[in-house]
Chain A
Amino acid sequence: MEQKENRQSSLVRTPSSPAPLQRRSKSKSYRQSYRSCVGAASRLCFTPGLTARRLNTSRRPPRPRNIKEQLDPQLLAVLTKTEWQLSYVTPLFQFRHTCLKSYARQLSAFLAAERQQGVAVEVDGDHGFRVSFSVVQGLVESERDPEAVLVQISSKPMFGRPEDPEKTVWSGWFSCVHGSPDYLSSLPQDFVCLPLFCSSGPETLTSIVKSWFRRFFDCSFGPLELDHNTLQWFVTLWTNCQRETDLQRLIMLWTIPAEPPLQVSYEVDAQDAWDLWCSVRRSAQQQQEEEEETEEAIDVKEVQEFMQELKHHFYRHFRLNLSAGNLSQVATALGSAKSSGRIKISNSRYMITTLSLLTECALLKMPI
Chain B
Amino acid sequence: MAAKQNLSGASDSDQSSPSDQSLSNRSINRSLRLAEKERRKNEAEDSFVLALKYFNEGSSPCARILKCLVPSSVVPQEAVVRAVVWLGISKIAVSTQILFVKWVLTMFDLIDAKDQLYQIYGFIFNFVTDENLCPFICHLLYLLTRKENVRVFRVRKLLELQSKLGRQAFLLHLLSLYKVFCPELVTLSIPSRMKTGFKNHNSPWKSALVAVQKRNGAQVALSSSLSISTSRKRKLGHMDLPTLTPAVNKLISLEPSLSRKLVPLVQIQSFTQLLENIHQIELPAQMGSLLGSSLALHYLDCLQDESALLRMNFWLGYALHEGANQNSDEAEQFLEKLLSTQQFLQEGFFSTEAFLYKFLNVWDGALMRPQILGLISNIPVIPGSQIGRLLFEPLMQLFFTSALYFKCGLMDCLNNMLLKWLTWHSVYALEDDLDISLNSHTSINFTLSGFKNSVEGCHSLLLSFVLDFYETVCDMFLKYGLPLVVMPPPGVFYPAFFATDPVSVDRLAYIMYRYKMNLTSAKYQEKRTEQAFHINGQTFLEFNHYVGLMVNCLWNAKMFEPGIGIELSEKLLLRSNVPNYTESFHLIYHPAFLSYAVDFHQQCWPKRKNLDLTSIKESKPWRWYLEFLFSQGFNGLKHFLESNINWPVAKGSSQGDGVSSQALRWHKSLPLLLPPGSSPLTQPKFPASPSLVGAFTVDSRSLTASDETVADVRRANGRTELLHSASLSDGEAALRHASALLPLPSSLLLMCPPRYRPGVARFCLFLANTRATCETFI
Contact = CB atoms under 8 A, between A and B. Distances in A.
Interface string A112-142: 1110111111110000000000000000000
Interface in A88-134: 90-91, 93-94, 96, 99, 102, 106, 109-110, 112-114, 116-123
B245 interface: yes
A21 B310 CA distance: 32
Interface residues of A, number: 68
Contact of A120 (B159, B303, B312): B159
Contacts of A14: 425, 429-430, 435, 437, 481-483
A217 B310 CA distance: 13
Interface string A17-42: 11001011111111101111100000
Interface stretch (B49-57, B106-114, B182-190, B682-690): B182-190
A205 interface: no
Contacts of A187: 310
A222 B318 contact: yes
A315 interface: no
Residue with the greatest number of chain B CB neighbours at <10 A, chosen from A27, A118, A190: A118
Contacts of A33: 306, 309-310, 350
Nearest to A9: B531
B188 A120 contact: yes
Contact of B357 (A51, A106, A220): A51
Given A367-B321, A368-B314, A31 B347 contact: yes
B600 interface: no
Interface of B: 155-156, 158-159, 162, 167, 171-172, 175, 179, 184-192, 194, 238, 242, 245, 248-249, 251-252, 285-288, 303-304, 306-307, 309-322, 345, 347-351, 353-355, 357-358, 380, 382-383, 386, 389-390, 425-433, 435, 437-438, 481-483, 525, 529, 531-533
A24 B427 contact: yes
A264 to B, nearest CB: 28
Contacts of B167: 116, 118-119
A222 to B, nearest CB: 5
Contact of A30 (B238, B309, B481): B309
Contact of A29 (B190, B347, B390, B426): B347
B339 to A, nearest CB: 14
Given A23-B430, A30-B345, A94 B188 contact: no
The 7 closest A-B pairs by CB, nearest first: A367-B317, A48-B354, A120-B188, A109-B187, A220-B318, A117-B191, A34-B350
Contacts of A170: none
B437 A12 contact: yes
B172 A118 contact: yes
Nearest to A115: B189
A219 B312 CA distance: 10
Contacts of A123: 184-185, 187
B313 A219 contact: no
A193 B192 CA distance: 32
A49 interface: yes
B170 to A, nearest CB: 12
A96 B319 CA distance: 25
Contacts of B309: 28, 30, 33-34
B399 to A, nearest CB: 20
A27 B303 CA distance: 10
A96 B252 CA distance: 9
Max chain B C-beta neighbours (<10 A), residue from A102, A117, A218 = A218
A120 B248 contact: no
Interface of A: 4, 7-8, 11-15, 17-18, 21, 23-31, 33-37, 46-51, 90-91, 93-94, 96, 99, 102, 106, 109-110, 112-114, 116-123, 187-188, 190-191, 214-220, 222, 365-368
Contact of B435 (A13, A116, A122, A217): A13
Given A14-B430, A23-B431, A217 B316 contact: no
A17 B158 CA distance: 68
B187 A34 contact: no
B447 to A, nearest CB: 19
B431 A25 contact: yes
Given A15-B525, A218-B287, 17 more contacts: A15-B483, A15-B533, A18-B525, A28-B304, A30-B349, A30-B350, A33-B310, A47-B386, A109-B187, A110-B187, A116-B167, A120-B162, A214-B242, A366-B317, A367-B314, A367-B317, A368-B314
Contacts of B429: 13-14
A122 B314 contact: no
B533 A12 contact: yes
Contact of A46 (B242, B386, B431): B386
B27 to A, nearest CB: 56
Nearest to B522: A15
A102 B390 contact: no
Nearest to A127: B187
B240 to A, nearest CB: 11
Nearest to A23: B430
A37 B306 contact: yes
Contacts of A90: 314-315, 318
Given A93-B311, A120-B175, A188-B310, A27 B350 contact: no
A50 B354 CA distance: 7
Nearest to A45: B386
Contact of B159 (A35, A37, A46, A121): A121
A7 B185 CA distance: 55
Given A30-B313, A106-B187, A122-B159, A94 B433 contact: no
A217 B194 CA distance: 27
Contacts of B437: 12-14
A31 B435 CA distance: 16
A176 to B, nearest CB: 16
Contacts of B303: 28
A113 B427 CA distance: 51
11 contacts: A11-B438, A13-B430, A23-B427, A28-B304, A30-B345, A30-B350, A50-B355, A50-B358, A51-B358, A113-B188, A216-B249
A222 B307 contact: no
B285 A99 contact: no
A15 B522 CA distance: 10
B270 to A, nearest CB: 24
Given A102-B251, A114-B189, A120-B175, A26 B432 contact: yes
A128 to B, nearest CB: 14
Nearest to B242: A214
B310 A37 contact: yes
A29 B427 CA distance: 13
Name the residue in A28, A31, A122, A222 with the highest tally of chain B Cβ atoms < 10 Å from its Cβ.
A31
B350 to A, nearest CB: 4
B345 to A, nearest CB: 7
Contact of A26 (B171, B248, B251, B431): B431
B380 A31 contact: yes
Given A51-B390, A118-B172, A93 B532 contact: no
Nearest to B311: A218
A18 B481 CA distance: 10
B351 to A, nearest CB: 5
